Chain A
Amino acid sequence: MTATTKPPVATAAPRLIYERPELLAEESTHYCPGCGHGVVHRLVAEVLGELGLGPRTIAVVGVGCAVFAYDYLRVDFCEAPHGRAPAVATGIRRVRPDAFVLTYQGDGDMAAIGTAEIVHAAARGELITAVFVNNGVYGMTGGQMAPTTLLGQRTTSTPGGREAALHGCPLPITEMLALLPGVAYAARGSVVDPVAIGRTKAYLKKACEVQLAGAGFAIVEVISTCPVGWGMTPRESIDWLRDAVAEVYPPGVLVDRTKTVPVVPAPATPASEG
């Protein structure tokens, strides 16, 4: 460059760093203040948008506070009976090889009433991406014990606190699923702080890429807050998430078999595709 060259003009306008993702609807959600579902919805919208999957996605939502996810995420949605989302997603997957299939379930949906469905979808290595929001309580029905409720945690059905002898111990469902060869990727994220949220987004993105690569079943659990169900303010619930929940459900990648996963047969192509 010579001294006579004019310097390049800088941007005159402020730079857009972040905005609401396009796949997230504008309407206000019914979730309580500080509810982690809002964060996970947003991350799913960001990831699907960045991967260009919006037009291909057929999502399946279970029953819980997030039953209205279809009002907030701008993709095709099928409502599943409580716990059955992995089976419903299997049906979709098997007849729509071109679709991107995502399930969104809470802890009761996946780890209580739906345990058989998630285990077998994972065992079959179904090419679906499962999003599992674990907030350790049944929010929608008034704060009862969930399979992932911590020992000692008070809920409306364990008013004296969860006891191992009476109620069993919290279920490490994602660790259990990670044992299965059909599970190509299993990770646990958290909404506890911006760094954790950033990592969670990366896990979600990887879980989607696993499906796109045809590598197998992928699940991302997100430990999340339920301020009202826990009887705390949103900020207190973040502290509980960090100090108590993360001890029992530590974030991180549980298994990543994408380099060594066995070949999974491609889903059957329907002969009479409409």
Chain B
Amino acid sequence: MTRRVLMKGNEAIAEAAIAAGCDAYFGYPITPQAELLEWMARRMPELGRAFVQAESELGAINMALGAAATGARVLVSSSSPGISLMGEGMSYMAGSELPVVVVNVMRGGPGLGSIQPSQSDYFQATKGHGHGDYRVPVLAPSAIAEAIDLVPTAFEIAERYRTPVMILADGIMGQAMEPVEPRFRTLPPPAPDWALTGARGRPPRVVHSLHLQPEDLEAHNRDLQAKFRAIEAAETRWAEEGVADAEVAIVAYGTAARVARTAMARAREAGMKVGLFRPISLWPFPSAALRDLALRLRAILVVELSAGQMVEDVRLAVEGRAPVLFHGRTGGMVPTPDEVVAALRRGFVVTDPSFDAETDPLGLICAAGGRR
């Protein structure tokens, strides 16, 4: 029997990065990811690798920028308010085309919010953090074992395309302990030909994002956009469970997907044909696959630990082929499987001939725009 160890999510992510050849870690303490920093504080010096607890997340992301510019493999981690501080750095790294993996262990917001888990940074992760025309690949594990596998994948994507990559986790995943097989993937060391290593025997190199002439900056942006199209073509990831005969599908990622999976099981027991569509790459979003699935569905229920952020991308992808319902909790509250089942029932009410608007007013939401 394969040996399994109990690992906390934050620590598992850290160890996965170490196994993948992470040369440097920069971070700042913030709940709920402090254990990741503490794990790195102990392990990186043991291995003779770089570790700095920076003066702030602003310092950390800029240290990452510098280290990445020299061709090192770099990890940074933080949680929501700290990720906000990294917005500037993300834009600069995207513009300078630097590979860095950033882990966001999401907590409740906005502002100081809470230290409880959330998924309310979806917009931040997939639509921006910083200024300018750029996208950043975002990977969303839903279990610690998956997180362990996605960390080296994130480094690979970052280095293959010269881009920052974000791993979007949440406080539950960071803090929970799960038995995992300690099979950590190793990666060959990075060997970029663009890195700053000292201009010995070659012309000097410059890593920069400033292109003052508009023609130059437009050309640069065109190149960046071509890169994003290439990432969309090759790095879209998702998982489907129970969709073959599903009439309603839950779309959820991360911890919400685990709740959804339990809800799906309970719904099936109650006779509802429910499936689960789980995006793993939030950008690029698996729009095409979801659009195809929506053709066969009576309704889609999006479940998030937020006021509704991914649901907008789901509606865009589905293009009205099926009604899209939403169930979410904010502030660090986590939806329960029973809440999700109740929301599913509303999805089924759309085509239930015994639907009575008087007794189930929420069903009106489904009836509008419903099919059949």
Chain A residues in the interface with B (C-beta under 8 A): 54-58, 60, 67, 70, 74-81, 84, 87-96, 98-100, 116-117, 119-120, 124, 267-274
Alpha-carbon distance A268/B72, docked complex (angstroms): 13
Q: How large is the interface on B (under 10, 10 to 19, 20 to 34, 35 or more residues)?
A: 35 or more
Residue in contact with A55 in the complex, picked from B50, B73, B200, CB distance below 8 Å: B200
Residue in contact with B192 in the complex, picked from A90, A116, A274, CB distance below 8 Å: A274
- B160 interface hit (Cβ, 8 Å): no
Identify which of residues 198-216 in chain B touch chain A, using a CB-to-CB cut-off of 8 Å: 198-201, 204-210
- B353 interface hit (Cβ, 8 Å): no
Q: A79 contacts B209, CB within 8 Å?
A: yes
Residues of B within 8 A of A124 (CB): 52
User: What is the CB-to-nearest-CB distance from A237 to chain B, in angstroms, rounded to a whole number?
Assistant: 26
Residues of B within 8 A of A55 (CB): 198-201
With A91-B68, A116-B56, A274-B191 known as contacts, the answer to whether A80 contacts B196 (CB < 8 A) is no
Q: A95 contacts B70, CB within 8 Å?
A: yes
Q: B73 contacts A91, CB within 8 Å?
A: no
Residues of A within 8 A of B60 (CB): 87
Q: Contacting chain A: which of B18-26, B275-283, B306-314, B326-334?
A: B18-26
Alpha-carbon distance A153/B67, docked complex (angstroms): 40
Residue in contact with B197 in the complex, picked from A88, A96, A120, A272, CB distance below 8 Å: A96
Residues of A within 8 A of B271 (CB): none
User: What is the CB-to-nearest-CB distance from B331 to chain A, in angstroms, rounded to a whole number?
Assistant: 31
User: What is the CB-to-nearest-CB distance from A228 to chain B, in angstroms, rounded to a whole number?
Assistant: 19
Q: B50 contacts A267, CB within 8 Å?
A: yes
Q: A57 contacts B198, CB within 8 Å?
A: yes
User: What is the CB-to-nearest-CB distance from B41 to chain A, in angstroms, rounded to a whole number?
Assistant: 12
User: What is the CB-to-nearest-CB distance from B167 to chain A, in angstroms, rounded to a whole number?
Assistant: 20
By beta carbon, the residue of chain B nearest A265 is B45
User: What is the CB-to-nearest-CB distance from A141 to chain B, in angstroms, rounded to a whole number?
Assistant: 14
Residue in contact with A75 in the complex, picked from B48, B71, B74, B204, CB distance below 8 Å: B204
By beta carbon, the residue of chain A nearest B100 is A91
Q: B69 contacts A274, CB within 8 Å?
A: no
Residue in contact with A95 in the complex, picked from B59, B72, B198, B209, CB distance below 8 Å: B72
Residue in contact with B190 in the complex, picked from A87, A117, A274, CB distance below 8 Å: A274
Q: Return the 4 tightest CB-CB contacts between A and B, nearest first.
A: A91-B66, A88-B66, A87-B62, A91-B63
User: What is the CB-to-nearest-CB distance from A19 to chain B, in angstroms, rounded to a whole number?
Assistant: 20
Alpha-carbon distance A75/B205, docked complex (angstroms): 7
Residue in contact with B62 in the complex, picked from A77, A88, A119, A271, CB distance below 8 Å: A88
Residues of A within 8 A of B190 (CB): 272, 274
Q: B198 contacts A76, CB within 8 Å?
A: yes
